[in-house]
Chains A and B, each alone.
Chain A
Amino acid sequence: MRFGIVVFPGTWSDVDCYKALTQDLPHEAEYVWHKETNLTNFDCIVLPGGFSYGDYLRTGAMAKFSPVMDSVRSFAAEGGPVIGICNGFQILCESGLLPGVLRRNEQMTFRCDWVNLRVDNSSTIFSHTLDRHQVISVPISHGEGNYYADDSTIASMEAAGQIVFRYTDESGNATREANPNGSLSNIAGITNTQGNVLGMMPHPERCCDPVLGGTDGSFIFQSIADAANITR
């Protein structure tokens, strides 16, 4: 399984993703410079966290014009798995690969913390090694993770099982207190309608090594790898 990790100027989770995939987990990975357009070597594309181009305008608003993003769009259109983490999620929304937007956190402050996520769809290629309604613990680190989409979009995503992860308490209740950023319907991660593009604000790459406090993130990467092997 070969992951391509896209690096924009200002990306900083690239190295963390690389370490998680190749050291904590048994996969291959390579960095993809944002000016690169050839993605044929990869089985999955990772858009990692950071502040692409500084995100001074609006998160992801510059990155979507990067040369690599045209190729990511084609890669996704052909059914290739794409996972956007944190800034990657913002870029996917801004690029139109995922519905909705990520607004400033409700509290107006950046938040770095561990959160609980409930797996609301365990049959996606990103979550099939987890159980439905299983609660996993994953770190967040963002100032703009407050997910918003209009009511009909939320309803159709709900119906289609596109809402994969929700912020909950330890017992899996999607309470207001468990929502770290004000996201609508406690949404933490969603897929596109085809189910091959995932965006999530939490950082699975930060919890693939027990010394860092947890390994729940590894299930997400393992799901992708297993799914790829099955498809082959």
Chain B
Amino acid sequence: MPVTQEQLDDVALSTAEYELILQRLGREPNAVELGLFGSMWSEHCGYKHSKLLLRLLPNESARLLVEPGKENAGVIDIGNGKAVVAKVESHNHPSAVEPFQGAATGVGGIVRDIFAMGARPVALLNSLRFGTIDEPSSAGLFHGVVSGISWYGNCIGVPDIGGEISFADCYSQNPLVNAMCVGIVETSELTYAKATGVGNKVFLIGAQTGRDGIHGASGLASRTFEDDRELRPTVQVGNPFLEKVLIEACLEIASKGILVGMQDLGAAGLTSSVIECASKGEAGIELDLSQVPLREAGMNAYDIMLSESQERMLLIVEEKDEHVIIEACDKWDLDYAHIGTVTDTNRVQIWLNGTKEADLPVDILTDPPLYALDGSQSPEAKAFGERDLGSLALPALTIRESLLKMLSHPDIASKEWVYRQYDHMVQTNTVIPPGADAAVIRVSDSNLGIAAATDGNGRYCEADPFNGGAIAIAEATRNLICVGAQPVALSDCLNFGDPEKPEVAFQLEQCIQGMRAACLALGVPIISGNVSLYNETRGEAVYPTPVIGSVGLVDDINLALKPGFKQAGDLVLLLGASALDKGPQDLSASLALEELHNTSGRKLTIDLDLETKLQKACLELIQEGLIESAHDCSDGGLGVALAESCMPLSIGFKLETPIPERWDAALFSETQSRVIISIRSEKLKDVVQMITQNHVPWMSLGRTTDGELTLGETSLSIQDMTDAFVSRLASV
């Protein structure tokens, strides 16, 4: 049967890829088999365009128990027989089509990745990007996504402890919805996604399988889309209650230590789950699809294999232990079915009602062609990165007006309206709630804390992908440092446009190189990740947006540093790249450039050597209990960082150094590697000694007060700043 172009389009395979299948298989695949190839060779499952690059990302760490890539996520030892797993994943395309369910099932999917390893999900975070907030369609997507995350996350009882939200035109038709989950596992109860042991039984538990989400991986996630209306049926619908029950049942089973393997059903459903388990176990699997509990009649093998129905898990167990699964499922009123058997054929063999529907070698399915990218920077992008801002005049606004404008920008404005809709306290371990540089949760029954944050900066990456990638890593770890946590692991989600375009390929290559450089400098491994390509609508790509989820350890939660100046009379120092005499060129890629100057461009760079020293010094200061507060200068620069330090506890600040003529650059430049700290004045000597030992430049900025934020001639009351800061998102 010669295949038609339409059939290939359906499964997103190229003619050349089809030829390759014929050559390796030695025959034509049937329709079901073609569907399996389409899924396994999709960008989403097969990482065709990114795998070669992803190998550049460092993943070495003395704490690493399980290597990333071998499992859903790398596993990091945190001592006392416990380990942490974490992963960020995208659900961009489904959320563009159906924001509520798209975002909700994004949460569900990442949570399953974590408990599939036997880990208890203990924290959720997210990173969201929308079009300009004043656009009604962006506001609609924003509200839909936030409600979806709230609905799903709250129901499953996992605290949503933080994240970030940013708005820019390029995301208006293609929002980015990245979700992160952190889990804690007893190392003795780690489970693996592998099928071993000939004759062992393969169980499917959880939701019934329906026709939802067919072609999710191959269609939705692996192509740009032109007309989104027709794609609605490819989005799945979530059932968070079932997920909660599935978590409890699976962890109960995992705690018995009898599981040979466990794997969630995510993108490409049963197909990728079964084939990955067979591949990792170097085995074959024989499936009888007539055993799969179905939601509707008349589903054929193709439908069943490619369905992305949510809340399902694959469990592999020795026959003698199957009663453990059955008992747990009975207790939790979950559907279960024995759907297959582990074989020694290294083939996946699929039967439905006595008919053999597919019979393919596992190794071909899991070995898609890998494409080396051929990137080159477009002249426009190069010019954008090298823009000369030297002739930029001072803004027309005053300092006061500028700061209030910056504080009310939706990227900077308080996200309280959002995180108030997420249960961030359930599990009663949240020590530092959302709103700080990073959130901190306690590891149950201990004083150990886990800090987590998400960070991304499309604006910097658009201006210069190498530096932008490096800055994303540096900011993610700096945020952890500012609450007193030692960064131990990162997870990345790479959101890019169409990699087959040279300019996008260039961005991807450079970004990953920049991330690599920063990871090596800072000594932090990337333990898991996800790639979301084809984030384009009608030919327009989103900013290159690597989102970094970071995890750090706080040795003693009582020493975790809460945000904000603590009392009047403290000294405030600026550590790191501390010079204030800045010029307009320093406004590179900043938010102020867009907001106060109505223009954009020019690359922002980072000195990774300085960043490393700064982070080390800052962490030591906190661990020694020498400082009262720490906050990094990021979006909105020093001016916004000072205001953000004043607002939490309503403490004022007076700048005791003259404001240079170019106050716009001095206050709002987003120069990297800067942290402001506040200290009791009697600690100055010890603090300075520790800073200079670490060869970190610093300067004194002034003192905290009972009153207002005073910058030269300008004074702003805490109330005025808070009004600007808090009301913006609440009023969308």
Contact = CB atoms under 8 A, between A and B. Distances in A.
Nearest to A141: B423
Interface residues of A, number: 30
By secondary structure, the A interface counts as mixed
B425 A205 contact: no
Contacts of B156: 12
Contacts of A28: none
Interface stretch (A69-77, A109-117, A186-194): A109-117
A212 B430 contact: yes
Interface string B233-254: 0000001111011000000000
A154 to B, nearest CB: 28
Given A12-B426, A15-B427, A51 B240 contact: yes
A180 B29 CA distance: 60
Contacts of B422: 110, 112
Contacts of A80: none
B244 A112 contact: no
Interface in B192-232: none
B421 interface: yes
Given A53-B241, A112-B420, A10 B425 contact: no
Nearest to A208: B428
Nearest to A23: B445
A19 B154 contact: no
A209 B428 contact: yes
Nearest to A209: B428
A12 B425 contact: no
Given A9-B332, A54-B239, A16 B427 contact: yes
A24 B27 CA distance: 67
A10 B246 CA distance: 10
Nearest to A52: B241
Nearest to B433: A213
Contact of A141 (B426, B444, B445, B558): B426
Given A109-B150, A205-B428, A10 B557 contact: no
A20 B444 CA distance: 12
A205 B442 CA distance: 16
Interface string A75-90: 0000000000000000
Contacts of A212: 425, 428-431
Contacts of A111: 420-421
A143 interface: yes
Contacts of A19: 428, 444
A140 to B, nearest CB: 9
A182 interface: no
Size bracket, chain B contacts: 20 to 34
Contacts of A12: 156-157, 244, 426-427
B339 interface: no
B688 to A, nearest CB: 31
Contacts of A109: 147, 150, 421
A10 B334 CA distance: 13
B426 A16 contact: yes
Nearest to B426: A12
A66 B430 CA distance: 32
A16 B428 contact: yes
B106 to A, nearest CB: 18
Given A112-B424, A143-B154, A9 B431 contact: no
A13 interface: yes
A35 B239 CA distance: 23
Contacts of A16: 426-428
Nearest to B245: A9
B155 A54 contact: yes
A211 interface: yes
Nearest to B417: A109
A54 B241 contact: yes
Contacts of B135: none
B333 interface: yes
Contacts of B155: 10, 51, 54-55
B426 A10 contact: no
Contact of B420 (A55, A113, A206, A209): A113
Contacts of B421: 109-112
B240 A54 contact: yes
A99 interface: no
A209 B421 CA distance: 23
Interface in A1-39: 9-10, 12-13, 15-16, 19-20, 23
Most buried by A among B242, B427, B428, B558: B428
Contacts of A139: 425
Contacts of A53: 241
Contacts of B420: 111-113
B108 to A, nearest CB: 13
Contacts of B419: 112
A212 B558 CA distance: 11
A145 interface: no
Contacts of A10: 155, 241, 244-245
Contact of B425 (A50, A56, A112): A112
Interface string B555-573: 0011000000000000000
A206 B428 contact: yes
Interface string B350-376: 000000000000000000000000000
A111 B332 CA distance: 29
Nearest to B431: A211
Nearest to A139: B425
A206 B244 contact: no
A110 B154 contact: yes
A200 B332 CA distance: 27
A203 B159 CA distance: 14
Nearest to B557: A211
B154 A141 contact: yes
Interface string A121-151: 0000000000000000001010100000000
Nearest to B333: A9
A109 B421 CA distance: 7
A51 B241 contact: yes
Contacts of A143: 154
Interface in A178-228: 203, 205-206, 209, 211-212
Interface in A39-55: 49-51, 53-55
A89 to B, nearest CB: 16
A154 B436 CA distance: 41
B239 to A, nearest CB: 7
Nearest to A49: B426
Contacts of A205: 428
A212 B445 CA distance: 14
A53 B242 CA distance: 9
A52 B154 CA distance: 12
Contacts of B428: 16, 19-20, 205-206, 209, 212
A213 to B, nearest CB: 8
B229 to A, nearest CB: 27
A141 to B, nearest CB: 5
B241 A9 contact: yes
30 contacts: A9-B332, A9-B333, A10-B155, A10-B244, A12-B244, A12-B427, A13-B157, A13-B426, A16-B427, A16-B428, A19-B428, A51-B240, A51-B244, A53-B241, A54-B241, A55-B241, A109-B150, A110-B154, A110-B422, A110-B423, A112-B419, A113-B420, A141-B154, A141-B423, A141-B425, A141-B426, A203-B425, A206-B425, A206-B428, A212-B428
Chain A to chain B: the 7 pairs with minimum beta-carbon distance, closest first:
A12-B157, A54-B241, A16-B428, A141-B423, A51-B155, A112-B423, A110-B421
Interface of B: 147, 150-151, 154-157, 239-242, 244-245, 332-333, 419-431, 442, 444-445, 557-558
Given A15-B427, A143-B154, A212-B429, 13 more contacts: A9-B245, A9-B332, A9-B333, A12-B244, A12-B426, A54-B155, A54-B239, A112-B420, A112-B422, A113-B420, A205-B428, A211-B442, A211-B557
